[in-house]
């Protein structure tokens, strides 16, 4: 599969989970926990494959995107720390929904920048064959990715 199509599919999966979360009420703490756990896993794996494989390949193929990529890594940094906090937080805690809301704002902004501001340049620079080969590498890496958000390189925690 084309690497950018694969990453955009991940973005869609996460957006669906966000919408589900937004439909929950303050009494639905079990449901909020279940959705948040899925969000943590999806975003941790996604950030991992981007940082380990896609971002370095994109930077090499399209050096003009370097500033965007460096900014994206800093956005990942903030996101993975929020994910690690959500993981250990009681869903009934009054700060839980607020933390999820801030996470969603951050991720939506980040996804918008990836999809609108620099993925198109990477697509142009790489072409279809390289993107397909890269997509296969991303897919193969997914099952091997750690599920701990702080294991992501951008966390800077180890
Ligand atoms: Fe990203
Ligand atoms: Fe992404």
3 CA → ligand 2 middle, Å: 11
Q: Which residues contact 110 (CB under 8 A, 6 or more apart)?
A: 72, 75, 76, 79
Q: Following CA atoms 96, 152, 106, 28 in sequence, which dihedral angle do they give, to the nearest 10 degrees? A: -30
Residue 157 counted as domain residue: no
CA of 157 to the centre of ligand 2 (A): 21
For residue 127, the CA-to-ligand 1 centroid distance in Å is 20
Q: How is residue 153 annotated by DSSP?
A: G
Apex 5 CA angle, 146 and 123, nearest 5: 110
Q: What is the pLDDT of residue 6?
A: 98
Give the distance (Å) from ligand 2 centre to CA of residue 92. Answer: 29
155 located within any domain: no
Regions in the chain scoring below 50 on pLDDT: none
- What residue numbers bound the domain in which 23 lies? 3-148
Domain membership flag for residue 84: yes
* DSSP letter assigned to residue 147: S
Q: DSSP label at 115?
A: I
Query: Helix, strand, or coil here: 99?
Result: helix
CA of 148 to the centre of ligand 2 (A): 17
Task: Using the mean position of ligand 1's atoms as its centre, give its distance from the Cα of residue 27 in Å.
Answer: 32
Domain membership flag for residue 99: yes
Say which CATH number the domain at 32 has: 1.20.120.520
For ligand 1, the distance from its centroid to the CA atom of residue 110, given in whole angstroms, is 6
Number of domains in the chain: 1
Q: Note the pLDDT of residue 158.
A: 53
Residue pair 107/47 in contact by the 8 Å Cβ criterion:
no
Give a yes or no: residue 70 inside a domain: yes
pLDDT at 101: 98
């Amino acid at each position: 599969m084309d690497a950018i199509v694969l990453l955009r599919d991940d973005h869609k999966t996460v957006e669906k989970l966000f919408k589900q979360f937004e439909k929950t009420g303050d009494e639905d703490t079990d449901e909020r926990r279940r959705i948040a756990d899925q969000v943590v896993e999806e975003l941790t794996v996604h950030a991992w494959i981007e940082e380990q494989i896609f971002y370095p390949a994109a930077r090499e193929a399209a050096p003009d995107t370097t500033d965007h990529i460096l900014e994206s890594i800093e956005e990942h940094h903030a996101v993975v720390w929020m994910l690690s906090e959500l993981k250990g937080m009681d869903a009934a805690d009054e700060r839980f929904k607020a933390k999820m809301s801030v996470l969603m704002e951050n991720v939506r902004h980040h996804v918008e920048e990836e999809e609108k501001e620099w993925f198109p340049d990477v697509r142009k620079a790489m072409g279809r064959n390289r993107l397909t080969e890269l997509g296969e590498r991303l897919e193969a890496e997914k099952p091997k990715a750690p599920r701990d958000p702080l294991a992501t390189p951008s966390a800077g925690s180890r």
